[in-house]
Structure 1
Amino acid sequence: MRYVLPPMHTLRALEAVSRWRSFASAADELHLTASAVSHQIRALESFYGSKLLQRNHHDVTMTPAGEQLLGVVQELLQRLSEVGESLRRRDTRRLSITAPPSLVSRWLMPRLGGFLGRHPDIDFRLHATTQLLDLDAGQADFAIRYGAGAWPDTRSEKILEERLFPVASPRYLSRVAKRSGLRGLTLLRDDFHGWEPWSAATGQSLDGSIHGATFSDSALLLQAAEEGHGVALGRSTLAEGALASGCLVRVGKGETMSQHAYYLIASSRRTDTAPAQAFRQWLLDPASA
């Protein structure tokens, strides 16, 4: 259906003049000049082809046509105001988080029930993606990102540091039980950490090891290790669940700290909503982790 409607600002002008019965007072409310309000009323009268206001020397009154239109305008503005208030209340309970899929599946999901159970009224939305959402535009309240902690126009807080060490499934290790160190073992890796820097930092030799597959997602790397495809350079944050369950075990004692960490970042141009503040407090509380 095609709607033939006048500009909304002219309707606001009509409603304000009808209440104040004065162009000057209506102009003050609308932060306009009296001349601008008068121009908007004339534009509205031209749109409908009817005289809407009777301009007297000390007063402004409505014509019958103006009274007829005013009733509809007041109802419309009231309804829009009520709907807008309802939407604003709903939005203030909305919380949107974006995080890498590997962290979501391996670390966040096992803990998230604690937050959701504590705040059942929050409309929680989780985007498991490596895509950088626009925090300034409100596409997400927070992003959890892996890196050095420097992102332009953001507020960032370190939430998780990581240690790097080799891990493998017990089944795989049983097949290579007679091997010494990493010699002859298939080394799996992801796009974030290579074996050579780890070897240089720990003094662990890679001589005789076999270069295995590379994965773009760290959760897939650990899954490959769990399936017995080789030894993964595990990241402590992501591997802790599999280590606790026995799906993975550490290989040797070589360990180093990662130069990167997980950070909670938010737009420096936006203030946190109440749900966002609650999530931040929960995430940074050691008891929650």
Structure 2
Amino acid sequence: MRYTLPPMHTLRAFEASARLRNFTLAGEELHLTASAVSHQIRALEAFYGTALFRRQRHEVVLTASGERLLEATQPFLAQLSALGEALRVRDAQRLSLTAPPSLVSRWLMPRLGAFLAAHPQVDFKLHATTALLDLDAEQADLAIRYGDGRWPGLHAQKLFGESVFPVAAPVYARKHKLVGETFEGATLLRDDFQSWDRWLGAAAPAPAPAGPVYSDSALLLQAAEAGHGVALGRSVLVADAIASGALVRLGERAIDAPGAYYLVSARDATDAPAVAAFRQWLEALA
């Protein structure tokens, strides 16, 4: 359907002038001069081809045509204004986050309930993916990424680093008499994120890591918890499992992981209330 409508700014000037019965007061409300309001009213009268006001010395009075237009204009503007407020509130409470699946399942999910309980109005959406979603294209408001903190065109704030050390299920450790960092006879579980080479080193002979390879660190740790072997655990991802007793740390030595976790956003983005609340919560938690 094709609509024949005047410019919106002329309707706003008309409604304010009709309500206040004065171009000067209408201009003050709209942050315009009285001359600008008068010009917009003349443009609206030209659009409809009829006079909308009778100009008197100290005020303006609606004509019959002006009365009819006001009856349609006031509810129209009120509905648009109310809808705008509703849409702004909804957008303000929307929050979309992207994060690696391993971090989501092993660290974020056990803690996320506290945030959602404290902010029940937030419309939350989580993308658990290793893909780097385009934050400038608003595919997500925030991202938790692992790396060196350098993503061109994006703002990155470091949350936490991590260290790496061997872990195993308590039953598996006892069965294979794993003491310290001696893993003879054990199956060394692997993932695509890191190998055992850096840990073992040339000076620490050990069986070739012949265990299965997992594409995700969370799967690797699930295999270790199930007693399938020894895994190199990343401190952030194994903290809860060690605290609960599902995994035990083997030895005291740890090496720094090559990267860290960062909270990433579009460089020029302005945080909506829900995004700001999540950022503050995550910073405090980290």
TM range (shorter): 0.7 to 0.9
The equivalences for 1:1-289 within 5 A come to 2=1, 4-6=3-5, 9=8, 11-12=11-12, 15=15, 29=30, 37=40, 41=44, 44-45=47-48, 51=50, 53=52, 64-117=64-117, 119-130=118-129, 131-136=131-136, 138-173=138-173, 176-177=176-177, 181-200=182-201, 203-215=203-215, 217-285=216-284, 288=285
Instruction: Show CA shifts across 1:83-116 (max 9, x none).
Output: 2223323443444433222212211222233334
Q: Distance in 2 between matches of 1:265 and 1:149?
A: 9
TM-score by length of structure 1 reads: 0.74
Q: Is the 8 A contact 1:97 1:141 kept in 2?
A: yes
Alpha-carbon offset, residue 261 of structure 1: 0.9
TM-score by length of structure 2 reads: 0.75
Gaps of 5+ in 1: none
Instruction: Show CA shifts across 1:9-48 (max 9, x none).
Output: 36446546756776xx87x959899699479637843xxx
Alpha-carbon offset, residue 244 of structure 1: 2.0
Instruction: Give the match's secondary structure for 1:143.
Output: strand
Q: Distance in 1 between matches of 2:265 and 2:54?
A: 53
Q: Is the 8 A contact 2:14 2:41 kept in 1?
A: no
Instruction: Give the match's secondary structure for 1:210.
Output: coil
- CA gap of 1:209–1:218, structure 2 versus 1, over 3 A, is closer
Further displaced range: 171-180 or 108-117 = 171-180
Instruction: Show CA shifts across 1:162-193 (max 9, x none).
Output: 11112222344455448993445433222322
Q: Is the 8 A contact 2:165 2:249 kept in 1?
A: yes
How many pairs does the alignment contain? 278
- CA gap of 1:69–1:207, structure 2 versus 1, over 3 A, is same
Q: Distance in 1 between matches of 2:193 and 2:184?
A: 23
Q: Is the 8 A contact 2:104 2:128 kept in 1?
A: no
Q: Distance in 1 between matches of 2:6 and 2:241?
A: 61
Amino acid at match of 1:150: R
Give the aligned CA root-mean-square deviation in angstroms.
Answer: 3.9
Instruction: Give the match's secondary structure for 2:189.
Output: strand
- CA gap of 1:266–1:208, structure 2 versus 1, over 3 A, is closer
Q: Is the 8 A contact 1:53 1:66 kept in 2?
A: yes
Instruction: Give the match's secondary structure for 1:187.
Output: coil
Percent identity at matched positions?
46
Q: Is the 8 A contact 2:178 2:250 kept in 1?
A: no
Alpha-carbon offset, residue 206 of structure 1: 4.2
Further displaced range: 152-161 or 75-84 = 152-161
Q: Is the 8 A contact 1:164 1:256 kept in 2?
A: yes
Q: Distance in 1 between matches of 2:283 and 2:236?
A: 15
Q: Distance in 2 between matches of 1:144 and 1:224?
A: 25
Q: Is the 8 A contact 1:53 1:60 kept in 2?
A: no
Q: Is the 8 A contact 2:6 2:44 kept in 1?
A: no
Q: Is the 8 A contact 1:51 1:65 kept in 2?
A: yes
- CA gap of 1:43–1:13, structure 2 versus 1, over 3 A, is farther
Instruction: Show CA shifts across 1:188-223 (max 9, x none).
Output: 2223222223333x95434433142231x2211111
Q: Distance in 1 between matches of 2:75 and 2:128?
A: 44
Instruction: Show CA shifts across 1:219-265 (max 9, x none).
Output: 11111222233322211111112222222223444421102111122
